[in-house]
Amino acid sequence: METRIAKCLWYHGLRKHSGGLIMTEGWFSKPVPIAEDITGDIHYVSNAKQAIELLESHWRQTGSDKHRNALIICRRAMDGRATGEAAMLAFLDAALEARVLSN
């Protein structure tokens, strides 16, 4: 029974820890500068959680392969199945495609 519960929790992005359930933020090695759509202000994305929020709610080009891949890899980084670095690189690809990456 315990194994089945652990598998279910893993699938939903949660890991069992001695103190309870945890999710990681998937921190990037360096922030990714993203230009805001209307104002052009720069927003710095520092982890997979922030990237997911942006990809799901404020993204120009949703539904592309790079957009979907970034969402998948960022979610994996949050539950420990991918590194923050992998999430950052996938997010960078999506940002380049959507032309929102700032210099």
Q: What is the dihedral of CA 6, 9, 11, 16, to 10 degrees?
A: -70
Spans of all domains in the chain = 24-98
| The pLDDT value given to residue 28 | 97
**Mean pLDDT per 10-residue interval, the chain, length 103 residues:** 44 46 82 87 96 92 94 96 97 96 87
| The pLDDT value given to residue 8 | 40
Report which of 57, 74, 64, 56 is spatially closest to residue 98, judged by C-alpha positions.
64
Report which of 96, 90, 87 is spatially closest to residue 29, judged by C-alpha positions.
87
Rounded-to-integer distance, Cα 84 and Cα 89, Å: 9
Place of tokens 């970034």: 70
pTM for the model stands at 0.76
Place of tokens 């960078």: 92
